[in-house]
Amino acid sequence: MAVANRELVEIFKARTDKREYRRTVLKNSLEVLLISDPDTDKCAATMDVRVGHFSDPEGLPGLAHFLEHMLFYASEKYPLEDSYSKYIAEHGGRTNAFTSSEHTNYHFDVNTDCFEEALDRFAQFFIKPLMSADATSREIKAVDSEHQKNLLSDSWRMNQLQKHLSIEGHPFHKFSTGSWDTLEVIPKSRGLDTRRELFKFYEENYSANLMHLVVYGKENLDEIQNLVEHKFQDIRNTERSCFRCPGEPCTSEHLQVLVRSVPIKQGHKLRIAWPITPEIHHYKEGPCRYLSHLIGHAGEGSLFYVLKTLGWATRLFAGEDDWTLEFSFFEVVIVLTDAGHEHMQDVVGLLFKYIRLLQQSGICKWIFDELSSVCETKFHYQDKITPVNYAIHLACNMQVYPPRDWLVGSSLPSKFSPGTIQMALEELSIDNVRIFWESKKFEGHTDKVEPWYGTAYSVEKVTPSMIEEWMLCAVNDNLHLPAPNVFIPTDLSLKDAQEMVKFPVLLRKSSCSRLWYKSDTMFSTPKASVKIDFNCPHAGNSPEAHVLTDIFTRLLMDYLNEYAYYAKVSGLYYGINRNDYGFQVTLIGYNDKLRTLLETVLGKIARFEVKPERFFVIKETLTKEYQNFKFQQPYQQAMYYCSLVLEDHKWPWMEELDILLHLEAEDLAKFAPELLSRAFLECYIAGNIQTSEAESMVQYIEDVFFSGPNSACKPLFPSQHVTNRVVKLERGMSYFYPAEGLNPDDENSALVHYIQVHRDDFLLNVKLQLFALIAKQSAFHQLRSVEQLGYITSLRQRNDSGIYGVLIIIQSTVKGPGHIDLRVEAFLKTFESKLHEMTSDEFKSNVNALIDMKLEKHKNLNEESGFFWREIRDGTLKFDRKELEVAALRQLTQQELIDFFNDHIKVGAPQRKSLSIGVYGNLHSSEYTADKSGPVHYSVKIDDIFSFRRSQPLYGSFRGVSDHVN
């Protein structure tokens, strides 16, 4: 019998990486990467198949994507439909897949004790899937629903437009996702059986020699290898040759073009693209990384800095996009202001001026060395991520890199090759550019329509002489290369933790602030996390204050951009963001230069001033965001209305937009001192920082804001500490709020069915969590896979500041919200019997799965800080929540879960509190009119959210109760 290839290959890994790796090739030529991590709480696997939508047969667009959907249903060994997904969900895992141009990726993770069976079920995807006729005809509707979701998405529309303007016979030109027309209507009209074509595509393309498998386990490498050989050796190997693209997708006809297109959302955007040599062929030299670092830079003298100073752009991205082994594009994406839109030619002229500057400056070794140093530090001190995401990343790397570089990929440019970088730079020429210009202002001024998404566009030629003219006319600015980066960390030493504490401790408190602190006792990285909540009672007391606080935080980020960009490049990130009760300052990354950045950020806040020219740029950006709210997916609109009903201090976006339109710079200048006049600072500092440093930081903050001669803040009065109150729905009542979809062109409707259960309580928490764990996959299977109500279908928990409930979310073109809500209730009635029929072993298995999920360790400092910060932010302060909930779970009986369901979830239960939000798309507008008059199966129809909110009792707030310190 043939045996697997156990040839040892050295795989380069990070200095801090304690995991073990092994490459092996099974007897069927399946190449495998094995990962052993004894510390993991989750096992994972991913299979990457070197076949994507570029391989779709002629006349069947979307077939590869459709096949990806179908493999989840059933297999010959496990014929019960949905049993794979059900097994994964009930054992603490998740599963998904995606189809790209040249590969399809399938993946899952699961609790460690049931990995072997999960892996066996997963392997059957690639050995003997069933793809029944009934499931095939149903799942076409899901693919179509996914397409309907994307129809009004600008990213999907513009991506397809770029593909449309390429060689018609080239795979890049194809429509990728599929629809009802491409997979049902058109094939039938041509006498094709889609299911037969599906099997044919599978048989021809799914060959073991085109697959790469990553298996991430807890056991040692030998055990994992034996498991893999046993489970995956039966995948057929037909020695299928790898798909290769037939050269470049663009001819001269598709180059030197200016494409005007009409987006769905407000705003203006430039996408400048060049066909280039794929960087994968020179990944150690990193030519695209070097160029994207410079063209995408935001420091003083950069292209973005100049465009921002002129008031023409708000964002800029640069880098390689849409790459394969045969072709690639380098893209510069610039988000324009209204003024920038009017100066489009100058913007493009400045871009080419900067490219010319790079050509004239030569390829700088010091810039490459600095970039290489940053990349090396990042690689060797990278945070652990979830096993499944890590496995996906590595499986994709396996398709294109040699085994030694599977973990590294292109993340470590190490060979300085001026010639290679110069060659890439020369490809960014005026001779082969494609300019895509998006704006609503082109509405009515285009003459073409892209066939799949209906995007209106027009094309004109842009000659090199025209662009040369734009360069000559562009402002004579001060473009120059970036300065050396002072934020690159030099001290990466680890500090001794003074105490091996498991939870944050209250290290310091005063009338002005409270400091929670936790040293790093788990991750051993030279990184820290700092979070500072400025609790300002004046920030959220009106819609106007809410909007002004938002502009205040955005202006601060704007002022700091060119300085702090260097920190970001070096792996030290910061943010200033509005929240419901003020604003938050966050810093996370290498601790070496963190104090320097923090002091600069705090200084900008303390000495805040309004620059009118920047105020109006921020106001314009924010206005467009508000105006684009109506283009959100209908389920997102329904979630917004749900929050508006439940959250006592949430302001409606229409009121905030109305206020925003009339705000002037002077309004913010008057508001900012009032905002900061009273504050309480909630601080959390964690990581590679000692207690004395943490205390020193907070003392510095107090000195800046509270103690100086010109200090901005005073402590809060006891009565001013902020609270977060949530509407308490009445027991035994079902509430209904209907709303028309805000975008009249959107055919999708949505329902959010919310059941409010309780205020934070460990025993009730675990009952709700266990119900959600057991019900999640059943709801998805029944409402999505069987009834095909809509691609977006989910059951999840909701936590509003310590008030817990459960949501069922469905978006659909098939049925209106009223009908969907009846189907949700029908599901819950059916589910009741499943709870009663569950065996004792099944119940214990679900309990143990939930316990394993709760005991899962945090993978990195950011994740740990996020968990503890939520307890601080909500005011619950239950740092040992996981341990206490596990203790409650261990005592829970099946009858208690059934009683909980009967009391709180069961339709018609006397304690049940439900709120249904229906958003009606244009296909169901007539139903909106009927349902608005009062559907009979609800207790209360909400006509006016704010009248309703004012009439309801509120839950007590956890936040603010213990904030006041004597």
Note whether residue 299 is domain-resident: yes
What's the pLDDT tens digit per position in 239-260? 999 888 888 999 999 999 999 9
What would the mean pLDDT of 145-171 be, rounded to a whole number?
A: 97
Q: Are residues 363 and 427 in the same domain?
A: yes
- For residues 753 and 628, membership in a common domain is answered with no
Pick the last residue of a domain from 431, 456, 473.
473
Whether 339 and 372 map to the same domain: the answer is: yes
What does the DSSP assignment read for 92-154? Answer: T-EEEEEE-SS-EEEEEEEEGGGHHHHHHHHHGGGT-B---HHHHHHHHHHHHHHHHHHTT-H
Question: How would you label 241-257 residue by residue, b for 16+ Cβ within 10 Å and e otherwise?
Answer: eebebeebbbeeebbbb
Average pLDDT over residues 24-33: 98
Which of 318, 292, 141, 106 has its CA nearest to residue 215? 106
The verdict on 609 and 561 lying in the same domain is yes
The H-or-E segment that residue 583 falls in is strand 582-590
DSSP state of 481: P
- The pLDDT value recorded for residue 6 is 55
How far apart are the C-alpha atoms of 810 and 638, rounded to whole Å? 10
SS3 of 35-97: the string is EECCCCCEEEEEEEECCCHHHCCCCCCCHHHHHHHHCCCCECCCCCCCHHHHHHHHCCCEEEE
Q: Is position 484 within any domain? A: no
Give the model's confidence band at 500: pLDDT under 50 very low, under 70 low, under 90 confident, else very high: confident
pLDDT at 963: 47
348 occurs within a structural domain: yes
Q: Is residue 240 part of a domain?
A: no
Which structural domain range is residue 821 located in? 726-955
Distances (CA, A) of 375 to 298, 435, 483, 523, 653: 18, 31, 18, 20, 42
Distance between CA 190 and CA 184 in Å, rounded?
10
**Mind listing the pLDDT tens digit for each residue in 278-311?**
999 999 999 999 999 999 999 999 999 999 999 9
- Domain check: are 678 and 799 in the same one? no
Which amino acid is located at 463 in the chain?
Answer: T
User: Helix, strand, or coil here: 690?
Assistant: coil
CA distance 42 to 387: 7
Q: How far apart are CA 55 and CA 662, in angstroms?
A: 54
Residue that terminates a domain, selected from 686, 715, 744 = 715
Residue 934 has what pLDDT?
Answer: 66
pLDDT digits (tens, 9 = 90+) for 34-83: 999 999 999 999 999 999 999 999 999 999 999 999 999 999 999 999 99
| pLDDT tens-digit map of 307-352 | 999 999 999 999 999 889 999 999 999 999 999 999 999 999 999 9
Helix, strand and coil content of the chain, in percent to the nearest 5, comes to 45, 20, 35
Each residue of 574-601: pLDDT tens digit? 999 999 899 999 999 999 999 999 999 9
Question: Does 159 share its domain with 50?
Answer: yes
| Cβ atoms within 10 Å of 483's Cβ, excluding its own | 10
- Report the percent of the chain where pLDDT is more than 70: 98
| Helix, strand or coil, per DSSP, at residue 345 | helix
Strands 104-111 vs 94-99: parallel, antiparallel or unpaired: antiparallel
Q: Per residue in 664-682, pLDDT tens?
A: 999 999 999 999 999 999 9
Which neighbouring-strand residues pair with 685? 517, 530
919's tokens: 């958003």
Judge whether 491 lies within some domain: no
Q: Is the per-residue pLDDT at 964 higher than 50?
A: no
Q: What is the pLDDT of residues 700-725, one digit of tens each?
A: 999 999 997 778 899 999 999 989 99
Q: Is 139 a catalytic residue?
A: yes
Residue 6 lies in a domain: no
pLDDT at 932 over 90: no
By the 10 Å C-beta count (0-12 exposed, 13-18 middle, 19+ buried), 473 is classed as exposed
Task: Name the helix (H) or strand (E) containing 165.
Answer: none
Regarding beta strands 513-519 and 680-687, do their DSSP bridges make them parallel or antiparallel, or are they unpaired?
A: parallel
Residue 530 CB partners (closer than 8 Å, separation 6+):
585, 586, 587, 588, 594, 598, 683, 684, 685, 697
∠ CA 297-324-422, rounded to 5°: 45
Give the tens place of pLDDT for each residue, 441-458. Answer: 999 999 999 999 999 999
Q: What is the DSSP letter of 938?
A: -
CATH number, residue 836: 3.30.830.10
- Map residue 962 onto helix, strand or coil: coil
Is the confidence at residue 3, as pLDDT, over 50? no
* C-alpha torsion 770→773→775→776, nearest 10: 150
Q: Please report where in the chains the tokens 């999840």 appear, as a residue.
A: 796
Residues 360, 278 within the same domain: yes
Predicted pLDDT of residue 866:
97
**Average pLDDT along the chain:** 95
% pLDDT > 90, the chain:
94
Q: How far apart are CA 187 and CA 194, in angstroms?
A: 7
Rounded average pLDDT over 925-931:
91
Residue 475: predicted pLDDT = 87
Q: Does residue 271 belong to any structural domain of this protein?
A: yes
**Is 711 in the same domain as 731?**
no
Give the burial class of 888: count Cβ atoms within 10 A of its Cβ; 0-12 exposed, 13-18 middle, 19 or more buried.
middle
User: 307 with 203, same domain?
Assistant: no
Q: Is the pLDDT of residue 1 over 80?
A: no
- Final residue belonging to a domain, choices 715, 736, 755: 715
pLDDT 10s digits, 606-637: 999 999 999 999 999 999 999 999 999 999 99
Question: What contacts 437, CB < 8 A, 6 or more positions away?
Answer: 258, 259, 260, 261, 268, 269, 270, 271, 344
Tell me the one-letter amino acid at 282: H
Out of 81, 90, 102, 139, the active site residue is 139
Residue 546 shares a structural domain with residue 676: yes
Report yes or no on 395 lying in a domain.
Answer: no
User: Which residue from 776, 812, 806 is spatially nearest to 794, judged by alpha carbons?
Assistant: 776
Model pLDDT for residues 765-816, shown as the tens digit of each residue: 999 999 999 999 999 999 999 999 999 999 999 999 999 999 999 999 999 9
What is the three-class DSSP state of 914? strand
Predicted confidence (pLDDT) at residue 366 exceeds the cutoff of 80: yes
pLDDT at 496 over 90: no
* Domain shared by 466 and 612, yes or no: no
The answer to whether 260 and 441 are in contact (CB under 8 A) is no
Are 780 and 697 found together in one domain? no
Taking only the tens place, the pLDDT of each residue in 889-921 is 999 999 999 999 999 999 999 999 999 999 999
State how many domains the chain has. Answer: 4
Mean pLDDT of 874-903: 97
So what's the pLDDT on residue 8?
77
